[in-house]
């Protein structure tokens, strides 16, 4: 029995050795054949790195990276979610392995019966009457029934409770002109669903946002939601420059408009802010500069360079200046998120605001429903934030398609001869700006 058992063991040993050798040889051949892909396939999975060489990225890893950057398999293309076989990998072209990056500025407007997100009749606690078109004689509100669907993005529906949880113990500040104020009021209506919230505290006094003697309104507003300790505030700074009186004792004094300094409010309170949203644009005209007695300064001296003193150049200088300043502050406040919103488009037809221009169209999307361009329609702001940690909130092109959403000639008192083709009806287009903002938080 021992002899037979020993012979049997040696027999199975030889069989096992032969089988193992065959497996190793076959594995080597398969892996060798997989590695030597043709030139076209190789170019589709090589990406350049800084020193000009190429880093090898396995096809499966490249696909996983695409899925991660898209954020959701359900809205991505098949090439971005399917792990291909070896044979398929050899046939994939370079274009099919290009990363499908979420682009909030590209996409299309689509009808949505669940809109608007709040009632224009009910949000009286936060919404100015002049922007609540439901309170005017306007009768068509079809502009309220659309939402923006970004390209290759999984943008969930806005929910006030989820936003407030994101902003737990945080403060978000809108700093800019009246369009920034519209975005601020829009967010207040969105997080409250347009309902009165008596528990919300007015804490504007903590930020110096009080109505001064002789002023029409305070320089801004700040509201705290006690349950999540979330503060949403707005500060009026039409040009995003530092403004200070040249002679504080003279009521008729001119004001130094520091193109290279941020608003004093931002300098003072940046340490208390978690999210900053900047905007500027429409107050950069000679009439308003002169009316406010602003005198341009750089390096604390009046601007004598005639080219820089031109309104367009001064605006561009300021936009780049504050973007760089804000970028320099972010390492000091690691939790700070900063956005620079592109300019909101005007839609005056057949004239300007003071020469009979109007925007009477009430039919949505007569200018088209899609945006497919690669570059921002606002090259100044997009150029200013490029290479910084300040994010671009690009709303210009998508808003350009929505001329029917302006206040137009509709007012509460039915006044004649007034056309507002700059500001928007609320609920309306600024709600979409906030949805894009929240999606990027």
- Note the pLDDT of residue 215: 86
What whole-number distance in Å separates Cα of residue 254 and Cα of residue 294?
6
Q: Which residues contact 26 (CB under 8 A, 6 or more apart)?
A: none
Quote the distance between the C-alpha of residue 206 and its chain's center.
28
% of the chain beyond a pLDDT of 70: 77
Mean pLDDT for the stretch of residues 352-366: 92
- Note the pLDDT of residue 6: 46
DSSP secondary-structure letter at 152?
A: T
Residue 298: count other Cβ atoms within 10 Å of its Cβ: 19
Q: For 161-217, what is each residue's pLDDT tens digit?
A: 999 999 999 999 999 999 999 999 999 999 999 999 999 999 999 999 999 888 899
**pLDDT tier at 105, thresholds 50, 70, 90:** very high
- Note the pLDDT of residue 406: 98
Q: For 10-20, what is each residue's pLDDT tens digit?
A: 444 445 444 44
Mean pLDDT for the stretch of residues 126-148: 96
- Note the pLDDT of residue 166: 94
- Note the pLDDT of residue 186: 98
Q: For 376-429, what is each residue's pLDDT tens digit?
A: 999 999 999 999 999 999 999 999 999 999 999 998 876 667 899 999 999 999
Residue of 178, 166, 282 lying closest to 229 (CA atoms): 166
DSSP secondary-structure letter at 358?
A: B
- Note the pLDDT of residue 94: 43
DSSP secondary-structure letter at 205?
A: G
- Note the pLDDT of residue 64: 32
pTM score = 0.78
Q: Which residues contact 118 (CB under 8 A, 6 or more apart)?
A: 189, 190, 192, 193, 194, 195, 427
Query: Which range, of 57-66, 95-104, 112-121, 380-389, averages the lowest pLDDT?
Result: 57-66
Virtual CA dihedral for 286, 292, 298, 304, nearest 10 degrees? Answer: 50
List residues bridging with 97 in a β-sheet: none
* pLDDT over 60 at 66, yes or no: no
% of the chain beyond a pLDDT of 90: 71
Q: What is the DSSP string of 90-114?
A: HH--TGGGS----EEEEEEEEE-TT
- Note the pLDDT of residue 99: 59
* Domain locations along the chain: 2-97, 103-439
- Note the pLDDT of residue 244: 97
What whole-number distance in Å separates Cα of residue 206 and Cα of residue 268?
12
Residue of 420, 432, 415 lying closest to 115 (CA atoms): 432
Q: Give the three-state DSSP class for 199.
A: coil
Tokens of 433: 């700006």
**pLDDT tier at 98, thresholds 50, 70, 90:** low
- Note the pLDDT of residue 38: 36
Average pLDDT over the chain reads 83
* pLDDT over 50 at 50, yes or no: no
Tokens of 63: 């696909």
- Note the pLDDT of residue 218: 94
- Note the pLDDT of residue 101: 83
């Amino acid at each position: 029995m021992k002899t037979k058992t020993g012979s049997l063991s040696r027999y199975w040993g030889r069989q096992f050795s032969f089988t193992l050798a065959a497996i190793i040889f076959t594995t080597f051949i398969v892996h060798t054949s997989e590695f030597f892909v043709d030139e076209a396939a190789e170019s589709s999975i090589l990406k350049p790195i800084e020193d000009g060489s190429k880093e090898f990225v396995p096809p499966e890893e490249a696909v996983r990276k695409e899925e991660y950057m898209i954020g959701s398999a359900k809205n991505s293309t098949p090439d971005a979610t399917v792990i291909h076989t070896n044979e398929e990998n050899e046939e994939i072209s370079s274009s099919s392995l290009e990363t499908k990056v979420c682009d909030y500025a590209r996409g299309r407007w689509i009808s949505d019966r669940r809109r608007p997100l709040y009632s224009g009749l009910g949000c009286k606690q936060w919404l100015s009457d002049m922007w609540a078109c439901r309170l005017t004689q306007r009768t068509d509100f079809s502009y309220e029934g659309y939402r923006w669907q970004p390209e290759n993005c999984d943008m969930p529906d806005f929910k006030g409770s989820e936003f407030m949880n994101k902003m737990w113990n945080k403060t978000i500040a809108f700093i800019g002109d009246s369009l920034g104020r519209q975005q601020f009021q829009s967010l207040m209506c969105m997080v409250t669903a347009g309902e009165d919230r008596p528990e919300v505290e007015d804490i504007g006094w903590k930020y110096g946002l009080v109505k001064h003697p002789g002023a029409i309104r305070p320089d801004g507003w700040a509201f705290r939601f006690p349950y999540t300790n979330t503060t949403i505030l707005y500060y009026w700074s039409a040009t995003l420059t530092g403004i200070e009186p040249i002679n504080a004792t003279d009521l008729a004094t001119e004001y130094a408009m520091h193109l290279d300094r941020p608003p004093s409010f931002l300098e003072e309170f940046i340490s208390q802010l978690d999210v900053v949203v900047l905007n500027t644009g429409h107050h950069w005209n000679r009439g308003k500069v002169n009316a406010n007695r602003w005198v341009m300064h750089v390096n604390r001296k009046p601007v004598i360079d005639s080219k820089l003193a031109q309104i367009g150049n001064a605006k561009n200088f300021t936009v780049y200046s504050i973007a760089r300043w804000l970028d320099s502050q972010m390492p000091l406040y690691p939790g700070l998120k900063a956005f620079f919103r592109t300019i909101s488009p005007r839609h005056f037809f057949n004239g300007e605001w003071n020469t009979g221009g109007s925007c009477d169209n009430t039919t949505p999307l007569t200018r088209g429903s899609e945006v497919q361009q690669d570059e921002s329609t606002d090259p100044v702001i997009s150029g200013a934030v490029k290479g910084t940690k300040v994010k671009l909130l690009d709303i210009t092109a998508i808003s350009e398609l929505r001329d029917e959403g302006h206040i137009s000639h509709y007012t509460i008192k039915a006044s004649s001869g007034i056309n507002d083709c700059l500001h928007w009806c609320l609920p309306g287009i600024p709600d979409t700006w906030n949805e894009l903002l929240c999606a990027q938080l």
